[in-house]
Amino acid sequence: MLPIFLVTLPFFALVAAGYLAARIRILPLESIPGLNAYVLYFALPCMLYRFGANTPIGQLLDGSVALVWGICAFVVVAAVVAFSRNGRIGWNDASFGALVAAFPNTGFMGVPLLTALLGAQVAGPVILTIMFDMVVTTSLCVALSRLDNSGSQGAIQAVRNGLLGVLRNPMPWAILLGAWASWASFHLPGPVERTVAMLGDSASPAALFTIGAVLARSAMLTSQARGKAPLADVLPVVLVKLVAHPLLVCAVALGLRAVGLPLSGSAIVVLVLVAALPSASNVSMLAERFGADNGRVARIILWTTVAAFFTFPWVVEQTARLR
């Protein structure tokens, strides 16, 4: 396992550096949205475009991968909403707890980390999971979050607003443009290609540092506003994200392959490793926007990120036999 730790350590170290920089105010909290905007609107889209453009179109349209990931996402969302709702937690908080359990930090952490571990061939399955979670999983959870007061009409409107948010997000457009470039064998002009390459190369360190800064900011602001969420409202979701989710993906993928679904061993490995990633940091911003308990969401993201430093290398080692 030591060789795996040596690969993953720099990635988590960058997250820790960002967290520490924000926590001790070397990085002003007011500057974090600007740092996040650079990653979201410039660096990550360029990296995803390059991955899409350099990946065979068949891998980007793999229905088997989408089916496995979709089934597991729906199961996780349904299960977490079902066991989370109680006297303290209504539809809004339960739904964003479900989203933080089902939505891994694939864009900011997963793409660079899995590429370093397995090579560029991971791009196809990883891109499919990003698209599914941004469009389907997020829209579903946002719709469920509106059931507290608004009923079905509010849920429908929430889905519309969520889809509009996806349209304003540059990451899906970068993926689609990359897929088109792959299909059309299109190549950017030399100077443009080099510019895109430079921005894409900056995505990994900038995104990882930003994860840490965002987590520190969320923890600091929400603890001042609402206090810490009870352990009983946090720990079960952490266990679902880091234990139940990857186990479920592995079981569903192997089960469907046994009954004839065309799914390669390498694709199963990538899906399990994506599921084993910590929770997506952008869920904290969504929870804040929709008035959910962002303190609880931020703690889940922080705990899954810290715990994944130990659990993720173990999952990498265990999945080696699936290849």
For 2-322, give the CATH class.
Answer: mainly alpha
**10-residue stretch averages of pLDDT, the chain, 323 residues long:** 84 93 91 89 90 84 92 96 86 92 91 87 88 89 78 61 69 88 90 93 90 85 62 91 96 95 92 95 81 86 93 90 69
| CA 23 – CA 27 distance, rounded (Å) | 8
Angle in degrees, CA 170, 129, 265, rounded to 5: 145
pTM of the model: 0.88
Candidates 231, 245, 320; CA nearest to 276 is: 245
- The domain locations on the chain are 2-322
Q: What is the pLDDT of residues 9-25, one digit of tens each?
A: 999 999 999 999 999 99
Q: What is the pLDDT of residues 113-152, one digit of tens each?
A: 998 888 878 888 998 999 899 888 988 888 888 786 655 5
